[in-house]
A and B are shown apart, each in its own frame.
Chain A
Amino acid sequence: MTRRTLQRSDLNGRLRALVLTLMLLAAACAGGGEVGDGAGAGAAGGSEPAGGSEETGSESAGSEGGAAAEGEPLRIGMATTLSGSIALFGVANENGAQLAVDQLNESGGVLGRPLELIVRDDQAAPEEGAAIARDLIISEEVDMLLGPVSSGVALAITEVSAERKVPFIVHTSNTEALMVEEFQPYMVSVVPNTGMEARAQGVDLADSEFTRWATIAPDYEFGQAQTGTFVETLTAENPDVEIVEQQFPELGETDYQPFITSLLSAEPEAVYSPLFAGDLVTFTRQAANFGFFDQTEFTALYETDALTELGDEVDLSGIRAYSRCPFTIDTPQMAEFVEAYRAANDSVPSDWACMAYDAVMLWAQVVEENGDADPDQFVETVEGFDFTSLRGETSIREVDHQASVPSYIGELQFDDELGFYVYENLQTVPAEEIWLEESEVMERRG
């Protein structure tokens, strides 16, 4: 197994906080303002080189082991989030991609060459993600990039991918802008995008008897995009719908209580939420203490990681939740994958592991078909490419490089054996019903 992980310290965030603090202090110390200002500049300037040297230090710690296949390895670079409230997803991304790499290496590699996965922490910061992507391409000479968790980071990386002409497969971040306004040919998506997902839910929930809706979503690209499309679809399908309250807390917020009470006081019949990972877990725990789930219907991205984390803590029975790639999908590929994943990681795979696995496998199949890892050949072959994903037969649409993957909606039911909630009556909404028409894609690109 060849593998390298580098986690940069979150020094950037620290520095920002320090500078902020010093500014506060400079303001606070009446009469001592000058000393404070000097301290601010000195501290910030003095600490920056430390960040750089730390990076070089850890990087040299990487090791390259042998694998079944021979020759110079093909390298896969992954910028994902391994720290903070959404780190749950980054860890799953890494585990899923690593399993794919290990399986491919065991069966002789790709083009007879071993694969190597290089993972780095983007701290959910777009500028960090872009810097990592550049570094992976220039210093590590990766042959392809796997997408990050955050859509904001994905938009930054897709620019680097276009500029450097390196294939970039997104499997977790999913803003529709990647396929439309910001589309570039080296990008491919194996995750249902925000538009598809929000339209699936909007259509599904427009039939419900609820007309007073509220929303709460993380305040960045993904949260705004998904909420926007959901509200658009819902109100178009059902003109009686009224949006009574919208909240956008920071990504990584730890105190949702004022947001929860604010939502409740608008007296919605139902609340829609693209909160996810640790944020959704925190929200759920705090909301339960306000009797939130007794007072309003709630629908959110309760995927496997969040559900595992919550266990039986909060009664979620009957909540209509959505998922991108639940491990309960009934395909032989998924069954096999779940077994291998459990053996390797001692837990069931979450959506983010499944899709990262699919991303690696898609790239490997295209490269094998081409007999070469050339990026331009990759783009040519991947358009219209058919492959068997964990979610079944899938093809890549030519116009926007979106995989024809469905969106999943189900009701949560507690599973005694697993000790957490899973989906009952899993409903599959096919891509063809929810993705933008090709003409619409072209129109929006202008």
Chain B
Amino acid sequence: MTGEALVLQVMTGLSRAAVLFIVASGLSLVFGAMRIVNIAHGSFYMVGAFVAVTVAGWLGGVVGFVGALLVVPLVVAALGGLIEVGALRRLYGKEHLLQLLATFAFLLIVSDVVRFIYGERPQSLRAPPLLSGATRFGDVFFPRYSLFLMAAAVVIGLGLWLLLSRTGLGRDIRAAVSDPEMLGMVGVNVSRLFTVVFALGAGLAGLGGVLAGPQTTILLGMDIDIIVESFAVVIIGGLGSLVGTAVGAVLVGVTFALGITFIPSAALAIVFVVMVAVLVWRPYGLFGIPQEA
């Protein structure tokens, strides 16, 4: 394999990592701050993609895609907020099993609602002409949209970092990650904070769905596909760590892409071998904080 081909393969892996990072960062945030394992996180991603098709259809053309990019994450965040206030809030402090079952129930409900509204047919979302097609580097073509995805992931990553490190909300979230019990005692409105964090997490998944739309096929079942890979990402990176999520996403994306070239029949298995290896070495993930039992 030539060096050029290797670079191309790594780049492809990075574009896969970009979407994984955006979605998994929301999952990691919710777990880190709220200790909730949200199995319905992939549903927000799927809803984001499907609603984007509708919004883009209404507005049409380039405006449609940009509009979806701006509006859909807000819609999905609102949906997340609603679920938190309406259901999850009642389950804090109870067994983890209850929370798991509740989010699993939402996964099934959302999936059936999407099926009811959109049917079984795969949907597609078109990227604006500016972002479609290939950019040429010498003899190699690379999709412009993938470059855009990587840039978007970097911008979102930076935005999240700024939010967490420079704002009052970020300070509260970080406090919740390291010691949730103390937070209430120092006068933070924990219940409002949790709603905001859950909505933010859902919004990130929704944004991931819109962004992934043009380069994938929008279809029932995409919720499960993304949630399995997202869990791999956050487990490798360490639940609750932004940097860990970024590193985990890159590892999963690039390992998969290179696996396809070198050991085609076992590409996905290799991703999970990497995950298991990380777990054996550091059970709390690469950048995670060891949990107290």
Which positions in A face B, CB cutoff 8 Å?
7, 9-11, 13-14, 17-18, 20-22, 24-25, 27-32, 35, 38-39, 42-43, 46-47, 82-85, 87-88, 91, 246-248, 250, 252, 254-255, 257-262, 264-265, 278, 281-282, 285-286, 288-291, 294-295, 309, 313
Contacts and interface: CB of A to CB of B under 8 A. Distances in A.
Contacts of A84: 120, 219-221
- Counting chain B residues whose Cβ lies within 8 A of the other chain, the interface size class is 35 or more
Given A248-B265, A258-B16, A17 B227 contact: yes
Contacts of B291: 29-32
Contact of A246 (B107, B146, B217, B264): B264
Given A32-B293, A43-B100, A278-B217, A262 B9 contact: yes
Contacts of A46: 101
A38 B97 contact: yes
A28 B134 CA distance: 40
Interface in B246-293: 256-257, 260-261, 264-265, 267-268, 275-276, 279, 283-285, 290-293
Interface of B: 1-2, 4-5, 8-9, 11-13, 15-16, 37, 39, 96-97, 100-101, 104, 107-108, 111-112, 120-122, 124, 126, 132-134, 136, 141-146, 215-217, 219-222, 224-225, 227-228, 231-232, 235, 239, 256-257, 260-261, 264-265, 267-268, 275-276, 279, 283-285, 290-293
Contacts of B146: 257, 289
Nearest to A250: B268
A278 B283 contact: no
A258 B13 contact: yes
Nearest to B293: A31
B145 A289 contact: yes
A226 B153 CA distance: 40
B122 A18 contact: no
A268 to B, nearest CB: 13
Contacts of A43: 97, 100-101, 104
Contact of B264 (A7, A18, A248): A248
A30 B283 contact: yes
Contacts of A9: 108, 112
Contacts of A85: 122, 217, 219
Given A14-B108, A31-B291, A257-B16, A24 B145 contact: no
A309 B9 CA distance: 28
Contacts of B12: 257-258, 260-261
16 contacts: A7-B120, A18-B104, A27-B279, A30-B284, A82-B120, A84-B219, A248-B265, A255-B216, A258-B260, A261-B11, A261-B12, A282-B216, A286-B215, A289-B215, A291-B136, A291-B141
A308 to B, nearest CB: 11
A27 B272 CA distance: 12
Given A25-B37, A30-B284, A255-B216, A13 B224 contact: yes
B228 A35 contact: no
A35 B291 CA distance: 14
Nearest to A313: B126
Contact of B39 (A21, A250, A278, A295): A21
Contacts of B2: 265
Contacts of A14: 107-108, 111, 224
A262 B292 CA distance: 44
A286 B216 CA distance: 8
A266 to B, nearest CB: 8
A28 B222 contact: no
Nearest to A90: B120
Nearest to A277: B122
B121 A88 contact: yes
B134 A289 contact: yes
Contact of A281 (B5, B11, B97, B122): B122
B214 to A, nearest CB: 9
Given A27-B279, A289-B145, 12 more contacts: A29-B291, A30-B293, A43-B104, A85-B219, A254-B216, A258-B16, A261-B11, A281-B122, A282-B216, A285-B215, A289-B215, A290-B134
A30 to B, nearest CB: 4
A42 B97 contact: yes
Given A30-B291, A32-B293, A262-B9, A39 B141 contact: no
B5 A265 contact: yes
B228 A17 contact: yes
A11 B108 CA distance: 8
A32 B292 CA distance: 9
A290 B261 CA distance: 16
A21 B134 contact: no
Given A21-B39, A87-B120, A286 B143 contact: yes
Contact of A289 (B111, B144, B228): B144
Given A32-B293, A85-B217, A39 B9 contact: no
Which of A20, A43, A85, A291 has the largest number of chain B CB atoms within 10 A?
A291
A235 B73 CA distance: 52
Interface centre among A35, A38, A261 (most CB of B within 10 A): A261
Given A17-B227, A258-B257, A289-B144, A28 B235 contact: yes
A367 B253 CA distance: 56
Given A248-B265, A265-B261, A35 B96 contact: yes
A281 B216 CA distance: 10
A18 B221 contact: no
